[in-house]
Amino acid sequence: MKINATLQKLVAEFLGVTLFLIAIVGSVSHSLAVPQLSLAVTLGLAILITGGISGGHLNPAVSLFFYSRKEISLSHFLLYVLAQIGGGLLGAFIGLQLWGKSVSAISLGSTPSLAVLLGEWVATGGLVFLYGFLISSKRSNFIPVAVGLWVFSAASITQSGAQANPAVTIALLLTGQPIATSGWIIVAELVGMLTGIIGLMVFTAKPVKAKKVTK
């Protein structure tokens, strides 16, 4: 079977994020003792499956990072984001249906606490840094495992559960997360992405040797 290369990438991103959101919403709805494990393993597997097709971004912040490096075009970036958000909304809906729960009414809400915003800043910054560092060091094959482990860790230590993904944040509107909360979290995620890029620039920079001073 033949398929358009761009369409194949978009389908991979769409289904990858769909699967991830099913894990997030399904595990939380089921009240698992350790929901972080389920979503971390699912994300790692989704990246492993989609990595060879679309690059395994599964996250608008990651796609924006690759666009900033001119590794994808603006049109591909925009299409990726649409596919990711669409997949997130579908995954959240399916995750709710798996446990017989309905979509929550949309509410305005209020600004989240500083602790929540800091958590998203740290989680997203670390995620983007991992992608960039492993690619720069030619160890991209470790991305599925590394990202899964980071998400598990970050989700365990942050109040927001380390959404670290604008598509996830938007999809969680269906579960009752307020609009204002989601908006501020997305801002924190984008700032985290920029922080991750700055950290990456430092860690991958070539050190300049000090010149010897002659007397």
Is residue 64 in some structural domain? yes
Is residue 96 in some structural domain? yes
Whether pLDDT at 214 is above 70: no
- For residue 209, the model assigns a pLDDT of 72
Mean pLDDT over the full length of the chain? 91
Confidence of residue 161 (pLDDT cuts 50, 70, 90): confident
Q: How far is CA 200 from CA 3, 46, 62, 77, 137, in A?
A: 35, 24, 13, 21, 11
Is residue 210 in some structural domain? no
Confidence of residue 55 (pLDDT cuts 50, 70, 90): very high
- For residue 6, the model assigns a pLDDT of 93
- For residue 58, the model assigns a pLDDT of 96
Confidence of residue 27 (pLDDT cuts 50, 70, 90): confident
Confidence of residue 106 (pLDDT cuts 50, 70, 90): confident
Whether pLDDT at 1 is above 80: no
Whether pLDDT at 33 is above 90: no
Is residue 131 in some structural domain? yes
Read off the CATH number of the domain in which 163 is found. Answer: 1.20.1080.10
Question: Is the pTM for the entire model greater than 0.85?
Answer: yes
- For residue 29, the model assigns a pLDDT of 72
Domains identified in the chain, total number: 1
Higher pLDDT, 31 or 188: 188
Whether pLDDT at 90 is above 70: yes
Range of the domain at 171: 5-203
User: Is 159 within 8 Å of 117 (Cβ atoms)?
Assistant: no
Higher pLDDT, 134 or 29: 134
- For residue 110, the model assigns a pLDDT of 84
- For residue 56, the model assigns a pLDDT of 93
Is residue 117 in some structural domain? yes
Is residue 214 in some structural domain? no
Whether pLDDT at 4 is above 80: yes
- For residue 210, the model assigns a pLDDT of 63
Range with lowest mean pLDDT among 23-37, 161-175, 196-210: 23-37
Is residue 113 in some structural domain? yes
Is residue 213 in some structural domain? no
